[in-house]
Amino acid sequence: MEQTVEIFLNEIRIGAVTRLTGARFEFEYDKTYLADEANHPLSLSMPMTAAVHRDSRGESIVSNFMWGLLPDDREVLRRYAAHFDVPEADPLALLEAIGEDCPGAVSFGTSDLGRGLGPLDEAEMAEVVDGLRRGRTPEIFGRNPGYFSLAGAQPKTAFVYRDGQWYMPVGDEPSTHIVKPAMRDLDDQPLNEHFCLQLAREVGLAAPESWVERMGAEQAIVVERFDRMTDAGPETRRIHIEDMCQALGYAPSQKYEENGGPGIRAIGELLRDNATDPAADLEQFMRAVMFNVLVCGTDAHAKNYSIWHVTGPQLALAPLYDINSVYPYFLRRNDRKMAMAVRGKKVQHNIRPEHFVADGEALGLSPEQIRGWLGDMAERLPQQARWTRDEMPYESTVIDLIVDEIARCTTRLLGQLRGPAG
């Protein structure tokens, strides 16, 4: 059955997706949009040098991009599908139902929904977060017209936070903050993520603002959306982003390198060849890889790195997000495996300076640059981790353990850097 859904970026019609068969789709750019060289593509995997992009037997670029906008959790997708009476294996049908506020600036379907805000009190926020933990359908979809889709595996929802008040976005109103309840069976996980995001900012990496808030009986992390911008007035504007799986044409199921997804070299080459300032973005990316190794952020897969389509053809590496240290949870060193191998090494404890150097050289970076960035971060991180912990208004043995393990890891790497093999 043929189905066509219009696609918008910030309320500008850029094209439409059409179903070719049950599982194959076609995206066609709007001719007017295509004629303006100041516009940017829906995805780097669908460049504007071609008006039409189609799924084929060997390549599912369009469907992969759409799946990348949806939650990874199959149970959540099943509830979406049941709620809206659409097939759970159909990304276009799902996004037509809930794709009004997606990651980035993309929206599916009508653009004339209007905007509004529904105030939420503390009890209502607590009920929503509790519902997320328990998987209750109404809390996933909100209670007002206007639905959103958030990619990723962790349960989460999106709200507007303004002047100390929470609101449910209505219609086409962009959400501004993401709320995520604690992951099950991981002690103080919201504190862990908040600490890692704050620590990343303290060592010069771009990462969103966050805080931890108790909502009823649940502890949750609140993360400011970096794909939203609020100007001097109250109006919120969407900024288009895509994750590295989408940009490179991979399915979300391939987000881990071991599942056939992109690794350091593929992402680095994309930045080198497409970023407006490739030197700056390559440095930020390699520093981010180093940071994730040092804090043992083992879930730094391709969907946890994204690119900003800023204005027109300008493109930049987006801030880091979803960083959690596994130091407190995986006590055996051999269990601490990185989502992306560094020169073939996945076990965090086995990654040495020369492995960073080798991956950097493959991207045209000098050994001196890589060793300099690694040494700078390894020297600064332990003290900064202690300061960041001491400034937090919480006490947590989980954070204490992360701080101690960072000190051990950086001591090891600094010793290797200064030794003959460094």
Residues 63 and 147 in one domain: yes
In a domain, 233, yes or no: no
Contact 215, 126 (CB under 8 A): yes
Residues 394 and 270 in one domain: yes
Domain's final residue, options 139, 163, 181? 181
In a domain, 342, yes or no: yes
In a domain, 352, yes or no: yes
- Among 212, 104, 103, 195, smallest CA distance to 151 is for 103
Residues 175 and 307 in one domain: no
Domain's final residue, options 181, 204, 220? 181
Q: Which domain holds residue 176?
A: 4-181
26: tokens are: 């076609």
3-class state of residue 371 by DSSP = helix
197-246 tens-digit pLDDT: 999 999 999 999 999 999 988 899 999 999 998 776 668 889 999 999 99
Residues 375 and 261 in one domain: yes
In a domain, 68, yes or no: yes
Residues 293 and 147 in one domain: no
- Among 272, 297, 299, smallest CA distance to 284 is for 272
**Which amino acid would we find at residue 8?**
F
pTM of the model: 0.93
In a domain, 213, yes or no: no
Residues 293 and 395 in one domain: yes
304-322 tens-digit pLDDT: 999 999 877 789 999 999 9
Contact 264, 360 (CB under 8 A): no
Residues 282 and 394 in one domain: yes
pLDDT per residue of the chain (422 residues) written in tens, 0 to 9: 678 999 999 889 999 999 998 789 999 999 999 998 889 999 999 999 999 999 998 889 999 999 999 988 888 888 888 888 999 999 999 999 888 888 999 999 866 666 788 899 999 999 888 887 776 544 444 444 344 555 555 678 889 999 899 998 887 888 999 999 988 889 999 999 999 999 999 999 999 999 999 998 889 999 999 999 877 666 888 999 999 999 999 999 999 999 999 999 999 999 999 999 999 999 999 999 999 999 999 999 999 999 999 877 789 999 999 999 999 999 888 999 999 999 999 999 999 999 999 999 999 999 999 999 999 999 999 999 999 999 998 899 999 999 999 999 999 999 999 886 55
Contact 161, 177 (CB under 8 A): yes
Helix, strand and coil content of the chain, in percent to the nearest 5, comes to 40, 20, 40
Active site residues: 299
Query: What local confidence, expressed as pLDDT, does residue 421 receive?
Result: 52
In a domain, 253, yes or no: yes
The number of residues in the chain equals 422
Residues 255 and 134 in one domain: no
How many domains are there within the chain?
2
Domain's final residue, options 136, 154, 181? 181
In a domain, 313, yes or no: yes
Which CATH number characterizes residue 349's domain? 1.10.1070
Residues 277 and 353 in one domain: yes
Contact 222, 211 (CB under 8 A): yes
Residues 42 and 130 in one domain: yes
Residues 414 and 269 in one domain: yes
In a domain, 211, yes or no: no
